[in-house]
Amino acid sequence: MKPAPLEYLAAATAEEALAALARFDGNARLLAGGQSLVPLLSMRLLRPTAVIDINGIPGLDGIAVGDGVVRVGALARYSALETSAVIRERVPLLAHAVPFVGDRQIRNRGTLGGALCHADPAGEMALCAVTLGARLRVVDGAGRRELDAEAFFQGPYTTALEPTEMLEAVEFPDGAGTEAVVVEHARRHGDFAAVGVAATGLPAPDGSWRWIRIGLSAVADRARYARRASEGLAGTRLGPAEVEAAAAHCLEEADPASDVRASAEYRRHLIPILVERALNELARRRR
Amino acid sequence: MSARVTVALRVNGRAYERVVESRRLLVDFLRHELGLHGTHVGCEQGVCGACTVLLDGEPVKSCLMLAPQAQGRSITTVEGLAGRGELHPVQQAFRDAHALQCGYCTPGFLLGAVVLADRGVTLEGAALREELAGNLCRCTGYQNIVEAVERYLRQAAAGRGDG
Amino acid sequence: MDKLPWLGASVKRKEDDRLLRGSGRFLDDVEETRTLHLAIGRCPYPHARIRRIDATRALELSGVEAVLIGEEVIARTEPITVLRPFPGSAPTIFHGMAHGVARYEGEPVVAVAAVDRYVAEDALELIDVDYEPLPHVVTVEDALRPGAPQLHDTVAGNVVVESTVRAGEPDKRLAGAAATVAGTFRINRVSGAPIETRGVIARWAEDTSTLELWASTQTPHLLRAQLAHCLRMDETDVRVIAPDVGGAFGLKIGVYPEDIIAALLAIDTRRPVKWIEDRTEFFRGAAHAREAVHALTLGADRDGALLALRDRYLIDLGAYHGPLGPPLLTSIMLAGPYRLHDAEIHRRVVLTNKVPMGAYRGYGQAESNYVREVLVDRLARRLGQDPADFRRRNLLRPDELPFKNVSGVTYDSGDYARGLELALSRAGYDSFRARQKAWREQGRHVGVGMSCYVEFTGYPSSAFLGRTGARFGAYESVTLRMDRAGRAAISTGVSTFGQGTETTFAQMAASLLGLDPADIAVHRGDSQGTPYSVGGFASRTMIAGAGAIEKAAGQIRDKMLRIAGHILDVDAAALEATAGMIRRRDDPSVQVSIQRVSESAFLGHPLPPGEDPGLEATAYFDPPSSAFGYGTVVVQVEVDARSGEFTLQRYILVHDCGTQVNPMIVEGQVQGAVAQGIAAALFEELVYDRETGQLVNGTMVDYFMPTAADLPAFELDHLETPSPETPFGIKGVGEGGTIAAAAAITNAVCDALAPFGVELDRLPITPESIWRALAAARAKG
């Protein structure tokens, strides 16, 4: 399995990368971590005329706090997210999600932006983005725009990114003081989730939760923020009845398919179980 | 005819400069252009880890990189461990623990373990198995590999006086 | 016999230094100038007519040297022979390339030779192939349905062979049984999946007019014989060399289509032609394994003595006989280590539009153990007996061996019950039920399961193999040569693929010659310069190889003693060879070095009158019988009854493989086999879509080979009951670990979920399959 012929360009600046994208008129692909892209090239499932290597562009991998958000550059690698104190303290859901991604080698190269643009419906980064209500900053030759994560993901491996656009950064709400949990069911360690649940929330001093947000992966054509389930938990203490209700709402949000990892029926069966597991773990974490 | 680019890089401490097809996978470049056959191909999908090399000291899967991406980088392959001399302690640990059978997956495991030792990591048991999950072995069932790496990491820590 | 100093020693492996340095020489590491690289176009349909192939554009691509199509291959070659078919099998015509019709997704249809693999793949995309999809069948049931497409004119009803083994009066015994249980079991299609895929380099040697083939193979000599036959060449004009092989497990036996394709193109282009299988091809071309459906019935009397066994099973062969043939040991070992005299085992081997099936570690024994041991547990439960007690009653005792089982094979030696007791005691079985009860009260479902096996290793003589239609013998051979420095070299046709033959052969020879294993070089895997060899499979190499080494070393030792006796003026019968010296048994100060003795042999002087110079011997050894290892696996699992998720908490295996040449290597083999046993039981399955007939998960991402994090640590123990028949009492050991995993884990899960009455009848066991079984049990109850 060897890639089809292609041209390689290493962009030194974002402007160069965007100009190249425009020049190739939709027939070029940005190369970041390459952990998803390169196998697709090798299998010839993708045959871009060119790949534009953005790994050398400075300033695309920063992790910065300010104005109530944590801004993470698209080129931030999983390994950096894993070891970042800022992420651990202020975007704990990401810190909990990253160990589920691939393996050590993949985490050394793969990037947040690459994962989001690849938009695997089982992907952990997309799950975090929709669960947290992240904003994605996208840029092209003409300028910038921002999208909500939910609007960014449009279907399996499909995003709102135009062929001449580049994802520049992701803004997560500053989650200092929040708790977070990720639970997955997979056939093997590090494998794509058959069902993924992310749960995060802000504990209130009186023992209740100010808000809870729940997200689901691998059970629809894209990662889903379980809005109804989440809103129903605001102000509650995550008692058994509330957790059960949330789990039931999550099931309604899901539209799973059958594949080699699990059937749709089994995914449906697991969703409330994993949601309960996640919420119970969340409740345990605050003690 | 596919585009070609020049790649200048260091491998096992030695400088190389080659003109290479843009689409050439890094693992193929190392093996066939530079003649370093110790890095192996097992899947070309980034699953089995037989192609693992160190890129600026970090383990990565070289079937998931295009050769041009190695421009200006420093790569270590298994050949860089012992050179022509005595076996590296990690290699000795694998030999002592009978942690290899056909040997095809072994270079990938060795390089990953060396990085852990350099970082002063002393994992064992389930936590170590998690760390090793990016490398598949079909011959050993992993048990002796885990034992070899555990022993090697403990020795490395003791050697640094922080065991 | 004199003590053998290196027998039973955990000598560190000679192979390791080069492998650890990355200096192992695997197939793709062999690089010659002017090599052309092959890419192969394969049928994307399960069954299709090939109407037209147009390679014009491909041939015009710069860097493309040649294209080969099926029409030429059919004209120039014989079909692939089958090394070990079921006796009475209808033939299938399997050429090196499809022509006219292709019968499985992945069957080669066209080949391109180009300057590198990248260009060859570019060229493939420029080749137009017109396919007309035909109706397909990808399950044995569909293949047997009336009106099903007939895959071969030579095979009526898609049944390659049908046969029955019968002993005693099974129907009568079952009718009179106090309890019978029956079950239908589906065993998954899996792949041995070594980390190194297949590969071959073919080169026409102009100077000798011979074909030279480098191949990642377990069987250089057998590959040579088959390839020569296919190419209509004399065997003497074909040379096969196996370099280091990166794992094989039964899948790299005999000639494959790609070997033939590479050879033809090498002959045509007069350049070396290299094919390295990629992983996408691998799942669609390298032998598949194990898939079968069994309908088994077991009966016992009121006291729990097994009375009879009846099995009707189907093997899903795929679209052709593969180069080796399908697994043959299912029927032979179905009765297991039990006292059984009445059985009927009916087998049908069925064609489907899938990759041809071959051997995979176990060769039918994992399949038979699974179905039998799961039903043994159900039978015990039906009778209200503890599964351990049930087995204790029925396991053959040492004084009952040798014992001829219902399929006609004779178990040689062993203490099966002791293996069971040792495993149970390791598991803390005596106190387990009380602990289980306590856990249940906490809402936790923990279970223990066991499986006993007896294992067929090696072959019981070439005559037996010949009678049953095999195209190879049971023997092994070596040439052993001393050099003037007093060191030895073994030449063997056996190749190395992880099983440590270089080291264990050296240990045997060193023990017999009075040398150190470090003084023994082992040249392996080259058909040229090695005597006829069968190869490394069927857990036969050590048995047969040790016998050959014993003979050859014996001849050399005797000659060394005669030469030494001449030099020392001592009767040879008073001498022994040990630690590099030849010396008087009763006065070790009277001695001469082996080096000096070897030198004499090469100088031709001083030698006893009438003694020829030289110090070498070639020997063949044909084992008089197979050898039967055995063991017990005990497993503890915890199951979440709501989700079906489970954890393998303990995995205990007690095994007996007779005399162990190198205990360290034996343990490694067992660990590796156990891992593959668990992998096939819990993780892996090659899934075909019934509607499209296509392989759904033929990638490393979707074929779930377990990582280190997915497997537990194994607890191994062993007994050592030498075989009374084989050299040094050695039995085979490479496959045993795969045999009992599925049954033990199934039994443990069912034990954990006993309150729910769960039964499992298919593999792999997954959380989903457990959840479904729980739902089925609820619906039934």
pLDDT tens digits, one per residue of A16-31: 999 999 999 989 999 9
Peptide bond into C402 cis (omega under 30): yes
Contact status of B127 with chain C (Cβ, < 8 Å): no
The chain-wide mean pLDDT, for chain B, equals: 96
Contact status of A106 with chain B (Cβ, < 8 Å): yes
Q: Select from C504, C544, C575 the least CA-distant residue to C727.
A: C544
State CA A47 to chain mean position distance. Answer: 25
**pLDDT number for residue B2:** 56
Q: From the CA of B85, how many Å to the nearest CA of chain A?
A: 28
Reduced to 3 states, what is the DSSP secondary structure of residue C408? Answer: coil
**pLDDT number for residue C326:** 87
Contact status of C643 with chain A (Cβ, < 8 Å): yes
Q: For the whole prediction, is pTM greater than 0.95?
A: yes
The pLDDT > 90 percentage for chain C reads 95
Question: C-alpha distances in angstroms, C324 versus C80, C448, C538?
Answer: 10, 37, 12
Q: What is the mean pLDDT of residues B56-69?
A: 98
| Beta bridge partner(s), residue C395 | C338
**pLDDT number for residue B71:** 98
The number of residues in chain B equals 163
Answer yes or no: is pLDDT of B160 > 90: no
Contact status of B41 with chain C (Cβ, < 8 Å): yes
User: Tokens 């810190």 sit at which residue?
Assistant: A95
Q: What is the mean pLDDT of residues A52-68?
A: 97
Question: C-alpha distances in angstroms, C21 versus A208, B93, B103, C500, C523?
Answer: 59, 13, 10, 17, 20
What CA–CA distance (Å, rounded) separates C673 from C738?
5
Q: What would you report as the CA-atom Rg of chain A, rounded to the nearest whole angstrom? A: 19
The pLDDT > 70 percentage for chain C reads 100
Q: Select from A35, A12, A2, A57 the least CA-distant residue to B65.
A: A35
Q: Which two tokens stand for residue C73?
A: 């291959």
**pLDDT number for residue B85:** 86
Query: Starting from the edge strand earliest in sequence, which strands make up the sheet with A7-10, in order?
Result: A7-10, A50-53, A28-31
Q: Which two tokens stand for residue C42?
A: 């394969």
Q: Which residues in chain B touch residue C710, judged by CB atoms under 8 angstroms apart?
A: 133
| Beta bridge partner(s), residue A53 | A10, A31
Contact status of C649 with chain B (Cβ, < 8 Å): no
C429-441 vs C416-427: helix axis angle to the nearest 10? 40
In this structure, of A59-63, C422-426, C543-547, the range with the lowest mean pLDDT score is C543-547
The pLDDT > 70 percentage for chain A reads 100
Q: DSSP secondary-structure letter at B98? A: T
Exposed (0-12), middle (13-18) or buried (19+): which is A279, by Cβ within 10 Å?
A: buried
Which amino acid is located at A54 in the chain? Answer: I
Contact status of C647 with chain B (Cβ, < 8 Å): no
**pLDDT number for residue C2:** 52
Are the beta carbons of A242 and A230 closer than 8 angstroms?
Answer: no
The chain-wide mean pLDDT, for chain A, equals: 97
- Per-residue confidence band for C336, with pLDDT thresholds at 50, 70 and 90: very high
Q: Which two tokens stand for residue C639?
A: 């199951």
Q: Select from C151, C161, C153 the least CA-distant residue to C86.
A: C161
Strands B4-11 and B74-76: parallel
Q: Which two tokens stand for residue C135?
A: 């109706």
Question: C-alpha distances in angstroms, C90 versus A17, C154, C510?
Answer: 63, 6, 47
- Alpha-helix residue ranges (DSSP H) falling in chain A: 14-23, 37-42, 78-83, 85-90, 92-97, 104-109, 112-118, 124-132, 149-152, 227-231, 240-253, 264-285
Contact status of C691 with chain A (Cβ, < 8 Å): no
The chain-wide mean pLDDT, for chain C, equals: 96
CB contact under 8 A, C700 and B31: no
User: C40 Cβ partners below 8 Å, 6+ apart?
Assistant: C108, C110, C111, C112, C124, C258, C261, C275, C281
- Per-residue confidence band for C460, with pLDDT thresholds at 50, 70 and 90: confident
Instruction: Name the B residues in 84-113 with CB < 8 Å from any C CB.
Output: 87, 91, 94-96, 98, 100-107, 110
The pLDDT > 90 percentage for chain A reads 97
Q: Which residues in chain C touch residue B50, judged by CB atoms under 8 angstroms apart?
A: 195
Q: Which chains touch C (3 or more CB pairs under 8 A)?
A: A, B
Q: For residue range C397-407, what is the model confidence (pLDDT) as tens digits?
A: 999 999 999 99
Answer yes or no: is pLDDT of C89 > 70: yes
State CA B66 to chain mean position distance. Answer: 17
What CA–CA distance (Å, rounded) separates A80 from B159?
28
Q: What would you report as the CA-atom Rg of chain B, rounded to the nearest whole angstrom? A: 16
Q: What is the mean pLDDT of residues C62-71?
A: 98
- Per-residue confidence band for B163, with pLDDT thresholds at 50, 70 and 90: very low
Q: For residue range C92-143, what is the model confidence (pLDDT) as tens digits?
A: 999 999 999 999 999 999 999 999 999 999 999 999 999 999 999 999 999 9
Q: Select from C410, C443, C446, C442 the least CA-distant residue to C431.
A: C446
Q: From the CA of A179, how many Å to the nearest CA of chain B?
A: 23
What CA–CA distance (Å, rounded) separates C113 from C290?
34
In chain C, the N- to C-terminal Cα span, in Å, equals: 64
Q: From the CA of B13, how many Å to the nearest CA of chain A?
A: 21
Q: From the CA of C671, how many Å to the nearest CA of chain B?
A: 5
Which amino acid is located at C365 in the chain? Answer: Q
User: Tokens 């970042």 sit at which residue?
Assistant: A84
Residue C461: which region, alpha, beta or left (left: phi > 0; alpha: psi -120 to 50)? Answer: left
What CA–CA distance (Å, rounded) separates C293 from C152?
22
- Per-residue confidence band for B161, with pLDDT thresholds at 50, 70 and 90: low
In chain B, the N- to C-terminal Cα span, in Å, equals: 56
Which amino acid is located at B112 in the chain? Answer: G
Are the beta carbons of C371 and C185 closer than 8 angstroms?
Answer: yes
User: A133 Cβ partners below 8 Å, 6+ apart?
Assistant: A148, A149, A150, A173, A213, A225
Answer yes or no: is pLDDT of C3 > 90: no
CB contact under 8 A, B134 and A8: no
Answer yes or no: is pLDDT of A285 > 90: no
Determine the residue of chain A that is closest to C282 in CA distance.
A1
State CA C401 to chain mean position distance. Answer: 26
Q: Which residues in chain B touch residue A4, judged by CB atoms under 8 angstroms apart?
A: 23
Answer yes or no: is pLDDT of B162 > 60: no
C387-394 vs C365-382: helix axis angle to the nearest 10? 110
**pLDDT number for residue B1:** 41
Q: From the CA of C248, how many Å to the nearest CA of chain B?
A: 9
